[in-house]
């Protein structure tokens, strides 16, 4: 989820051969322990669209304490399997109030689509994601 929680939803089966559908119409939000280790870093500005290999700026008042920057592709579930999920760590350098980040070199590393851009501080606490796309 963009707020760094994990969403697990339902499931079910029905093969059409003398079966009654047993669908699980439920959902659960899980808040991992990393959300309770201190204040979240904030993204105040990030590009809505990226190109491969682009060097871009992420504005954050927390630049000095950022330990990692990454992209996580929004899910695309079919047949109970999310084949589109991708985690892409990004290289970056910290400046005064901003991060200079390098986008992945090609679609082989980050296929076209929408991504959540996260910054994570030295305590392992993630920001709320900014949405971007290739």
| Domain coordinates in residue numbering, the chain | 37-133
Length of the chain: 134
pLDDT score, position 105:
97
* Domain 37-133 architecture: Sandwich (2.60)
Q: By the 8 A CB rule, do 87 and 36 touch?
A: no
Least confident of 8-17, 41-50, 52-61, 97-106: 8-17
Burial of 121 (0-12, 13-18, 19+ CB in 10 A): buried
Q: Is the pLDDT of residue 8 over 90?
A: no
Q: Is the pLDDT of residue 19 over 70?
A: no
Q: Is the pLDDT of residue 80 over 90?
A: no
pLDDT score, position 14:
62
* Mean pLDDT for all residues in the chain: 91
Q: Is the pLDDT of residue 21 over 90?
A: no
pLDDT score, position 9:
77
Q: Is the pLDDT of residue 35 over 70?
A: yes
pTM over 0.95: no
What values do phi and psi take at 45, rounded to 5?
-160, 135
């Amino acid at each position: 989820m963009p707020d760094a929680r994990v969403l697990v939803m339902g499931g079910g089966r029905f093969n059409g051969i003398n079966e009654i559908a047993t669908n699980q119409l439920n959902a659960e939000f899980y808040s991992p322990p990393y959300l309770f280790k201190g204040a979240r870093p904030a993204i105040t500005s990030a590009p809505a669209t990226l190109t491969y290999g682009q060097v871009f700026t992420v504005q954050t008042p927390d630049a000095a304490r950022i330990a990692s920057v990454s992209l996580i592709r929004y899910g695309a579930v079919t047949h109970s399997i999310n084949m589109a999920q991708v985690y892409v760590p990004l290289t970056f350098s910290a400046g005064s109030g901003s991060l200079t980040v390098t986008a992945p070199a090609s679609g082989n590393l980050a296929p076209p689509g929408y991504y959540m851009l996260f910054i994570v501080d030295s305590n392992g606490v993630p920001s709320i994601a900014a949405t971007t796309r290739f």
